[in-house]
Amino acid sequence: MAKHPELLAKYPNVEVLPSNGQVRCLFASIRNSETSRRKFVFDSDRLITMLVEAALAKLPYKERTVKTPMGLEYVGAEFCSKLVGVPIVRAGESMEKALSNIIQEVRIGKILIQRDEETALPVLIYEKMPRDIANRHVLLLDPMLATGGSAMAAVKVLLDHGVKEDHIIFVNLISCPEGIDAFCGAFPQIRVVTGEIDDCLDERKYICPGIGDFGDRYFGTDI
């Protein structure tokens, strides 16, 4: 049974990656403080690929008929709209490779948001988007959903560029009830695809049991 059933019932726009032996092994690996950086990156990439595939399955499709080498028709599907991936720099860039590996010519935007140390509020530092982003579906990429502050600030940037709220899918590796409450309360039409929902935030606003600083561990800046 999925954790936090009440939370998932409250927010039907949130989908958790189905748990199985493989998924639990990968999460145990990346959560382990003794896991080497090389294995951390490898196992994180595997989980991120699963999450991106799950998110892509939520995009609108239309029917497409092709002819096979046998000269027969096959009825399949294709995307109805164009797609752009928007990682929240820096940790979100870890998810960019998985998306580009699945959709080779996908457009990529960038958003850099940092927390003001005095106010603890998110501050937009940099953003760059495709000119036609308003006509695209967007995968917003950030591995951690803690307080939700950075993600909500990033969504506001997308909305300012004309992106429709229901054209955004937020993809993250680990989330928590506080972050989901804040994010989905602010943007109920955005679909969220997450790997696991943890227990809570601690007094420092870190997800528990958590994973530590994902960006530092992934990019090797924790040593």
Choice among 31, 37, 45, 213 that is catalytic: 213
Q: Catalytic: 68?
A: no
pLDDT above 90 for 189: yes
More confident residue, 187 or 122: 187
What is the distance between the alpha carbons of residues 137 and 56, in angstroms, rounded to a whole number? Answer: 10
Choice among 31, 37, 90, 115 that is catalytic: 115
Q: What is the pLDDT of residue 118?
A: 72
Tens digit of each residue's pLDDT (9 = 90 or more) over 10-67? 999 999 999 999 999 999 999 999 999 999 999 999 999 999 999 999 999 999 999 9
What is the distance between the alpha carbons of residues 3 and 160, in angstroms, rounded to a whole number? Answer: 34
If we measure between CA atoms, which residue out of 217, 219, 159 comes closest to residue 186? 159
pTM, full prediction: 0.94
pLDDT above 60 for 1: no
Average pLDDT, the chain: 94
Q: HSE-up of 37 (CA within 13 Å, CB side)?
A: 10
CATH 3.90.79.10 fits 8-219, yes or no: no
Q: What is the pLDDT of residue 223?
A: 59
Torsion angle, alpha carbons of 213, 21, 54, 156, to 10? -20
Q: Catalytic: 213?
A: yes
Tens digit of each residue's pLDDT (9 = 90 or more) over 143-152? 999 999 999 9
Q: Catalytic: 45?
A: no
Q: What is the pLDDT of residue 207?
A: 95
Tens digit of each residue's pLDDT (9 = 90 or more) over 106-142? 999 999 998 776 776 788 999 999 999 999 999 999 9
Query: What distances in angstroms separate CA 157 from CA 113, 182, 196, 220, one per listed residue?
Result: 11, 17, 26, 29
What is the distance between the alpha carbons of residues 59 and 37, in angstroms, rounded to a whole number? Answer: 33
Looking at residue 160, its amino acid is D
Choice among 65, 68, 116, 119 that is catalytic: 119
